[in-house]
Amino acid sequence: MFSNTKRAVMLTLLASAANLVFAAPAPVSEINNSTATSTTSSSPSASESDIQRLERLLQNRNRVQLQMQQQIDEMSLEISELRGQLERNSYDMQQMLERQRQLFIELDRVRNEVKTSGKAVVSVDNAAESGDSTGTFSTDVDEQTAYQNAVDMILKQRDYTGAIAAFQQFQKDFPDSTFTPNSHYWLGQLYFAKKQDKEAVKSFAAVVAYSDSNKRADALVKLGDISARNNNQEQAKKYYQQVVAEYPNSASAKVAKTHL
């Protein structure tokens, strides 16, 4: 009987132990470990994606800033070039206005000469009759009209290119005209204003060849001005001195003295 009781106790203990084993909670360490492992494995890829995105944003911003800086530099260079061009244009405009002012001063003189051309014809004709070898003004209406038209292109029409052609044609049509020295003089003035110095020198030299021309002193001054403009100061000084020596009391001499 005692053995039966002992066996019953042993069975009871074994049953209790089995119940404890089956009733024990499942271990969570593996689940937690797997979850942590999963989280750890996914976290690096997510972090790398954010870094790459940030780097791309920084690169794009730097590229845009570089392009903007290049555009700013190009615009600054263009502005500097435009400013320089404006300064050059302003200087050229001032020089042109000064040349035109000088030309208009000279043109005012010829206007008075043209107005009194009829009286000049009579006085020179009388001088020729008394044996003066200075020549006479032609009473040819066509000659005076051609000369007047050439002058009007300067004074009224301001057509300087047309005036050059008109004076050249006048010299061909009336080579022996008493207006010829004046036509050379005004051609010289027009060429001088256009900075065509070679042609201007030829025209003013032609005036100087007429020793009795009332434009001779002015022509010498202009020859001096052209020499000075071309950095030939020695030759310019000779022309100015010649004006002072030959026409000491003239307005041209006063101009020449200012350059000496």
Whether residue 180 is contained in a domain is answered as: no
Spell out the long-range contacts of 109-113 with Cβ–Cβ below 8 A and sequence spacing 24 or more: 110/151, 110/154, 110/155, 110/182, 110/186, 111/151, 111/155, 113/182
Q: What is the band of 6 on the pLDDT scale with cuts at 50, 70, 90?
A: low
Whether residue 239 is contained in a domain is answered as: yes
Mean pLDDT of 178-201: 92
**Distant-in-sequence, close-in-space partners of 235: CB < 8 Å, separation ≥ 6:** 224, 227
Output the pLDDT for position 47: 58
Dist CA 163 CA 151 (whole Å):
7
**Distant-in-sequence, close-in-space partners of 132: CB < 8 Å, separation ≥ 6:** 124
Question: Which of the listed ranges 64-68, 88-92, 99-103, 241-245 does the model predict with the highest average pLDDT?
Answer: 241-245
What residues make up the domain containing 256?
Answer: 191-260
Mean pLDDT of 127-135: 32
Whether residue 47 is contained in a domain is answered as: no
C-alpha triplet 116, 157, 198: angle, nearest 5°: 85
Q: What is the band of 155 on the pLDDT scale with cuts at 50, 70, 90?
A: confident
- 38 vs 105, residue with greater confidence: 105
- Among the ranges given (61-65, 167-171, 249-253), the one the predictor scored with the smallest mean pLDDT: 61-65
Q: What is the CATH number of the domain that holds 224?
A: 1.25.40.10
Output the pLDDT for position 94: 73
C-alpha triplet 151, 152, 153: angle, nearest 5°: 90
Output the pLDDT for position 79: 85
What does the DSSP assignment read for 184-241? HHHHHHHHHHTT-HHHHHHHHHHHHT-TT-TTHHHHHHHHHHHHHHTT-HHHHHHHHH
Output the pLDDT for position 235: 95
Instruction: Write a three-state SS string for 96-140.
Output: HHHHHHHHHHHHHHHHHHHHCHHHHHHHHHHHHHCCCCCCCCCCC
Whether residue 123 is contained in a domain is answered as: no
Output the pLDDT for position 12: 57
Output the pLDDT for position 117: 41
Render pLDDT for 75-128 as a digit per residue (tens, 0 to 9). 877 887 787 778 777 776 776 666 666 666 666 665 555 454 443 333 333 332
Whether residue 23 is contained in a domain is answered as: no
Radius of gyration from C-alpha coordinates of the chain: 53
Whether residue 9 is contained in a domain is answered as: no
Dist CA 16 CA 131 (whole Å):
170
The rounded mean pLDDT for the chain is 75
Q: Is residue 5 pLDDT above 80, yes or no? A: no
Full-model pTM:
0.50
- 189 vs 136, residue with greater confidence: 189
Q: What is the band of 254 on the pLDDT scale with cuts at 50, 70, 90?
A: very high
Cβ burial, residue 149 (10 Å; 0-12/13-18/19+):
middle
Domain count, the chain: 1
Output the pLDDT for position 10: 58
Q: Is residue 202 pLDDT above 90, yes or no? A: yes
Whether 147 and 177 have beta carbons less than 8 Å apart is answered as yes
Whether residue 68 is contained in a domain is answered as: no
Q: Is residue 136 pLDDT above 50, yes or no? A: no
Half-sphere exposure of residue 71, counting CA atoms within 13 Å on the CB side? 6
Residue carrying structure tokens 């200075």? 134
Whether residue 211 is contained in a domain is answered as: yes
Output the pLDDT for position 107: 67
228: how many CB neighbours lie within 10 A of its CB? 16
Mean pLDDT of 148-159: 87
